[in-house]
Chain A
Amino acid sequence: MTERKIRVLIAKPGLDGHDRGAKVVARALRDAGMEVIYTGLRQTPEMIAEAALQEDVDAVGLSILSGAHMALVPRVLELLRANGQGHVHVFVGGIIPESDIPALLAMGVRAVYGPGTSTQKVVEDLRAAILQENHA
């Protein structure tokens, strides 16, 4: 009867108010059988890390369209590690310039998804990553 569900936090850090992308991804992950915790707009990195801790999530998806990703993402990663959640799979979506992607990946982000990414790809990547982690 033991059942392991993938739990994902979908959060929108920063000040832009466009959450359609976040909702589309949240819905797609839900339809893929995952449990998605949706926190809404204008979350600080502290709020996101706190929610990730309390909800014991496997993954955190950050949707950022404001251009503030190089400030917000490292802070979220740092707080997750400080809380003992360095294993959490962090992925970023939104408007991220190509030139910033290598730096984000280098700091520990597992994937960056730009406009036009299929939700199927997000689902498959996440499943594969978490499956691998459980066997590691």
Chain B
Amino acid sequence: MTTLAEEVLAGSRLALARLLTLIENEDPQGEAALDRLFPHSGRAHWIGVTGSPGAGKSSLVNRLAQAFRRPADGSPPRTVAIVAVDPSSPFTGGALLGDRVRMRDLSGDPGVFIRSMASRGALGGLARTTPAVVQALDSAGFDIILIETVGAGQSEVEIARLAHTVIVVEAPGMGDDIQAIKAGILEIADILVLNKADLPGAENALRTLRAMLELGSPPPSETVEGSPAVWRPPLVPTIATQNEGIAKLLGHIQAHAAYLHQSGGWQARDRSRLQTQLEELLQTALLKRWRSSLPEGQYQQILTDLQARRISPYQALHRLLGEPPLPQSIQRGSTALFNA
């Protein structure tokens, strides 16, 4: 009998789709299959696409996938998997996953696999199981994995820890130069795209974004074996609906991959991503184990005390952890704690 993992490695798309569901549902069978598949992962280029809702992420992903399938420079086509994340309702847990609407050009191509994911309560722009889903697609042998985040505001920056290359998509009219120098989403861009570059205000937006990049970038430096020693995020205007600027964007993506390989950044990102993944798994598992070790009803009792304002959130925490409450008698400026 062949296992699910073997079927995936043999190229079964049905098995792959089933596996992704098991992973999303955090089913132990999915974990077992991933254990088998993991040694086969680590070959694909993971490319994140993030930006505000309506900036044109899905349309851009559609065009990028087409460009990877039919490279303009005549190089061999690359296989492409797309993971498109949309938000789950915080109230019902349901989701409407609509990214495929913009990706109809890709249907019928056996070298493309599209999977929609609901965020299922995670807040960083991805679902908790997105890293494992991408790992499975990587193991299945796709060359390129495009990861489209939830329409992101300012701080959904988890994609920066996941992808090798992060593309941040902006559109004209999204804010002034103060927005552009705030910390957050623009900082994580390896490549900055101004999509809808034919709309009014595009010139202004380009100027603002360019100024922001110049403020933040180190001065041009020496090159190492043909690649820049320091990566300066390029700004690429595109009109995804008309396929404009896509070839140029693809060139920057390939240049970034080359830069990562030359600079050692590829391995560094891979190592830190695996560390992050382990730490997140650990947190989830420890929390689960700790909660199941609590005496029946204790959590509810302490929560009720907190909600009735009989104890403070910190007192509730110390009680749950079985720690003694903090001494009440610390005076301002007292050094008693340090002398103890």
CA A37 – CA B24 in complex, angstroms? 15
Contact partner of B118 (CB less than 8 A), chosen from A2, A5, A40, is A5
Residue-by-residue, is A79-102 near B (CB-CB < 8 Å gives 1, otherwise 0)? 000011100000000000000000
CA A84 – CA B95 in complex, angstroms? 26
Inter-chain contacts of B248 with A (CB < 8 A): none
Q: Are A1 and B104 in contact (CB under 8 A)?
A: no
Inter-chain contacts of B98 with A (CB < 8 A): 37-38, 40
Per DSSP, chain B at the interface is: mixed
Q: With an 8 A cutoff between CB atoms, is B20 at the interface?
A: yes
Return A42 CB to nearest CB of chain B, in Å.
8
Residue-by-residue, is B88-116 near A (CB-CB < 8 Å gives 1, otherwise 0)? 11001111111011001001100001111
Q: With an 8 A cutoff between CB atoms, is A26 at the interface?
A: yes
Return A37 CB to nearest CB of chain B, in Å.
5
Q: Are A31 and B26 in contact (CB under 8 A)?
A: no
Known: A4-B25, A46-B108, A55-B17. A31 touches B94 (CB 8 A): yes
CA A105 – CA B286 in complex, angstroms? 50
Inter-chain contacts of A133 with B (CB < 8 A): none
Residue-by-residue, is B5-31 near A (CB-CB < 8 Å gives 1, otherwise 0)? 000000001100110110011111000
Q: With an 8 A cutoff between CB atoms, is B288 at the interface?
A: yes
Q: How many residues of A contact B (CB 8 A)?
A: 32
Known: A2-B26, A33-B93, A55-B116. A38 touches B14 (CB 8 A): no
Q: Are A56 and B104 in contact (CB under 8 A)?
A: no
Q: Are B21 and A51 in contact (CB under 8 A)?
A: no
Q: Are B115 and A55 in contact (CB under 8 A)?
A: yes
Binding site for A on B (CB under 8 A): 13-14, 17-18, 20-21, 24-28, 88-89, 92-98, 100-101, 104, 107-108, 113-116, 118, 120, 284, 288
Task: List the 3 shortest-distance A-B pairs measured between CB atoms, nearest first.
Answer: A40-B101, A56-B17, A30-B94
A and B contact pairs by CB, cutoff 8 A, 10 listed: A2-B25, A30-B96, A31-B92, A32-B92, A32-B94, A35-B118, A37-B97, A37-B116, A38-B96, A56-B18
